[in-house]
Amino acid sequence: MSIRRVIINTLVIITALIIFYCWYNSCIKDVELTSTAFYGKNQQAKPEVKKDYKIYLITNEKAPQFWEYMNQGVSDMAKLLGLSFTWEAPAIQDVNQQIELLNQVVDSGADAILISVLSADELTEPIRQVKEKGVKIIYVNSPSNEKGIITLATNNYEAGKKAAENMIEELELAGLQEGTIGIVSVLKENPTIIERDSGFMDVIKADKRFTVLDPVYTGGDPKLSEEAATALIKKHPELVAIFGSNEGASIGVGNAIMADNNRIIGVAFDKSDATMELLNKDSIKVIIAQNPYSMGYLGMAEAYAALQGFDTGPSYIDTRISVIRER
């Protein structure tokens, strides 16, 4: 075999492989064309024409990873069902901005809205008006006082209690029997935060060994939360632990504790890359993780059920929590 032949053959093989590679990969993306050929199965055809529903997800804000997970869940279910949706949120946690946003999406013809409200009381009337226009309301994370189709959320009072129980356990492990506990919280009106903080405080107060300070509200901004936590540490030499009420607050708390050489016990809410890193560095001892992906994924399934006239089942689904500890 001449060298020339070998080279030509190799080139032909490589070209063929490149062509195959491109074709195979594109066929994975473009199932309609090719996968039946690959898998050769008979499929019940997906209903071809689907009503062009306008669906919105309105969250408290966009930045924390918590909302990204929720958006991912909504997005995955939407894609499975062949639906599209738009994710909206106020630039910062601001009740009036959220009400404005809600009215905007209704004006642009929303059929269904998945919403996490920033204030149960202040959103009640706007939601009632939206419902009157026939818009299906699915609550994710936090409901208003007006009834929706369904609420998919954490039982935040119980979750707050769980955070406090784990904090006490960590304090005992560290041999601490007395001292002051601080809370870096988010927004006074936020219903999930109210529940979470009161569950937390009820357990600490019932224990009687520790004193709990009034929550400091920082809007869930990590930087402001860090400043608030640092101020707490300076002001209260007897401070033994701090609770962060949401992802942003927890990141701030963890960073302040890290700057203080992990002397203080940190308990966090919500799992994100940042809180997990702080857990690995021991600046946070326990994370109470919610299930934002499931709120979004199952919430979108319920929105679709409501639009299609299917049975939407219970009025509340507890999406539950898990406790993550450092090893």
Partner 1 sequence: MKRKKTIIDILVITFAFLLFTIWYRGNGNEENAAHTAMSLIKYQKIYLITTNEEYQYWDYVNQGATDMATSVGIDYTSVAPTGRTAAKQVEVINKAVDDGARAILIAADDPKRISSAVEDAKARGVKIIYVDAPANEEAITTLATDNFDAGIIAGQTMLSELEKQGIQKGSIGIFSVASKQNTQLRDAGFRKVIMEDNRFALLDTILTNGEPEATKEAANRLISENKDLVGLLGSNEGTSEGVGNAIKADNNRIIGIGFDKTDEIMKLLKSGSLKAIMVQNPYTMGYLGMAEAIAALMGKDTGPSYINTGITILQNE
Report the interface residues with partner 1, using CB under 8 A. Answer: 5, 8-9, 12-13, 16-17, 20-21, 24, 28-31, 35, 39, 41, 43-47, 69, 73, 76-77, 79-81, 291, 293-294, 297-298, 301-302, 304-305, 308, 310-320, 322
**Separation CA 223–CA 255 (nearest Å):** 9
**Minimum distance between the CB of residue 271 and partner 1, rounded to whole angstroms?**
11
- If the CB atoms of residues 243 and 304 are measured against partner 1, the closer one turns out to be 304
**Minimum distance between the CB of residue 199 and partner 1, rounded to whole angstroms?**
18
Strands (E) across the chain are located at 55-58, 85-88, 112-115, 136-140, 150-153, 179-185, 210-212, 216-217, 239-244, 265-269, 286-289, 316-318, 322-325
The helix, strand and coil proportions of the chain, stated in percent and rounded to the nearest 5, come to 50, 15, 30
**Minimum distance between the CB of residue 204 and partner 1, rounded to whole angstroms?**
26
**Minimum distance between the CB of residue 186 and partner 1, rounded to whole angstroms?**
23
Q: How far apart are the first and last CA of the chain?
A: 63
**Minimum distance between the CB of residue 223 and partner 1, rounded to whole angstroms?**
29
- If the CB atoms of residues 17 and 259 are measured against partner 1, the closer one turns out to be 17
Neighbours of 31 (CB within 10 A): 11
Distance from the Cα of residue 207 to its chain's centroid: 31
- If the CB atoms of residues 15 and 86 are measured against partner 1, the closer one turns out to be 15
Distance (Å) of CA 143 to CA 107, 139, 192, 219, 313: 21, 5, 9, 19, 17
**Separation CA 68–CA 166 (nearest Å):** 27
User: Residue 155 burial by CB count (10 A; 0-12/13-18/19+): exposed, middle or buried?
Assistant: middle
**Minimum distance between the CB of residue 142 and partner 1, rounded to whole angstroms?**
17
- If the CB atoms of residues 15 and 96 are measured against partner 1, the closer one turns out to be 15
Distance from the Cα of residue 89 to its chain's centroid: 13
Neighbours of 27 (CB within 10 A): 15
- If the CB atoms of residues 35 and 97 are measured against partner 1, the closer one turns out to be 35
- If the CB atoms of residues 92 and 305 are measured against partner 1, the closer one turns out to be 305
**Minimum distance between the CB of residue 139 and partner 1, rounded to whole angstroms?**
15
- If the CB atoms of residues 1 and 206 are measured against partner 1, the closer one turns out to be 1
- If the CB atoms of residues 26 and 108 are measured against partner 1, the closer one turns out to be 26
Q: Are 240 and 246 in contact (CB under 8 A)?
A: no
**Minimum distance between the CB of residue 5 and partner 1, rounded to whole angstroms?**
7
